[in-house]
């Protein structure tokens, strides 16, 4: 009679049950490269950022120390504190509640443990410290402007009311552009610049050209830097050669004023 190894069978059953409940979405998210920069300076992490419940999670140091915050971690209680100017934030691993200057606030995604490291929600902590955060989904990147924090001086100069200028530097109007190209220009410092990129020709399909005749390539916004410079990265690589590309640009400032609008046309190389 064949003898069964009961211990081995039990271990195999537990292994199957364990694998069936693993958070595979989190594992896949951890393999996605997420780039983070503060005031134009890329941040290098020893523990890469990950996505958790749709939020970018980063190690508690690095970004926040770059913002001028003092960061402390109590391993026993798994409590994190970050102070910048007069702002004090306190949060704990696996808790969705945070204290900001003694006021309780709820986070969409609580801090998580990865090995011995605590990862905290990037947007929540950065904005609580007075920074401006922008997520670019098309290339999985986060840009942070330090702005103000506590008693720091204002990051942006006062913006006056009334119309202001928005100009385009490149590409030159009516030129042929490659699949990946940058739209650059200048406007009022710290103004919010919006871009809409569309095409009236179909994309490449599996069996040739297919899909809608009107394609939305990009629709996003960014903030001009202290010199008024702005840059958008456009990915038109799946448009057919010769496709007609239309770029619309506009800008607004914190005073509610608007710039002139720019509309330029290109063709896909």
Residue 199 CA to residue 178 CA, distance in Å, equals 14
Supply the pTM of this predicted model. Answer: 0.45
* Per-residue pLDDT reduced to its tens digit, 184-230: 999 988 788 999 999 976 555 544 555 556 788 988 888 788 788 99
Residue 88 CA to residue 80 CA, distance in Å, equals 11
Burial of 3-39, coded b for 16+ CB within 10 Å and e otherwise, reads eeeeeeeeeeeeeeeeeeeeeeeeeebbeeebebebe
* Per-residue pLDDT reduced to its tens digit, 8-50: 555 555 544 444 444 434 433 444 578 888 887 888 888 888 8
Domains of the chain: 31-145 (3.30.457.10), 167-268 (2.60.40.2550)
More confident residue, 216 or 115: 216
pLDDT at position 131 is 86
Q: Which of 31-35, 91-95, 154-158, 159-163 has the lowest mean pLDDT?
A: 154-158
Mean pLDDT, the chain, rounded, equals 79
């Amino acid at each position: 009679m064949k003898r069964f190894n009961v211990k081995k069978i039990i271990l195999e059953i537990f292994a199957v049950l364990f694998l069936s409940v693993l958070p595979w979405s989190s594992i896949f998210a951890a393999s996605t490269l997420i780039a983070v920069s503060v005031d134009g300076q890329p941040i290098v992490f020893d523990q890469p950022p990950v996505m958790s419940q749709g939020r970018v999670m980063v190690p508690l140091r690095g970004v926040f120390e770059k913002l001028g915050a003092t960061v402390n971690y109590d391993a026993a209680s798994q409590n994190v504190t970050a102070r910048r100017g007069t702002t004090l934030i306190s949060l704990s691993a696996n808790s969705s509640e945070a204290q900001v200057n003694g006021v309780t606030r709820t986070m969409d995604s609580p801090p998580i443990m990865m090995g011995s490291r605590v990862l905290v929600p990037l947007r929540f902590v950065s904005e609580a410290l007075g920074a401006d955060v922008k997520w670019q989904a098309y290339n999985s990147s986060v840009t942070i402007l330090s702005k103000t924090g506590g008693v720091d001086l204002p990051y942006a100069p006062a913006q006056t009311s009334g119309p202001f200028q928005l100009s385009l530097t490149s590409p030159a109007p009516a030129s042929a552009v490659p699949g990946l190209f940058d739209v650059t220009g200048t406007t009022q410092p710290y103004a919010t610049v919006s871009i809409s990129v569309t095409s009236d020709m179909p994309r490449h399909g599996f069996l040739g050209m297919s899909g809608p005749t009107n394609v939305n390539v990009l629709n996003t916004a960014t903030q001009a830097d202290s010199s008024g410079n702005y840059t958008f990265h456009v990915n038109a690589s799946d448009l057919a050669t010769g496709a007609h590309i239309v770029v619309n640009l506009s800008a607004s400032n914190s005073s509610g004023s608007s710039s002139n609008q720019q509309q330029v046309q290109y063709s896909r190389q």
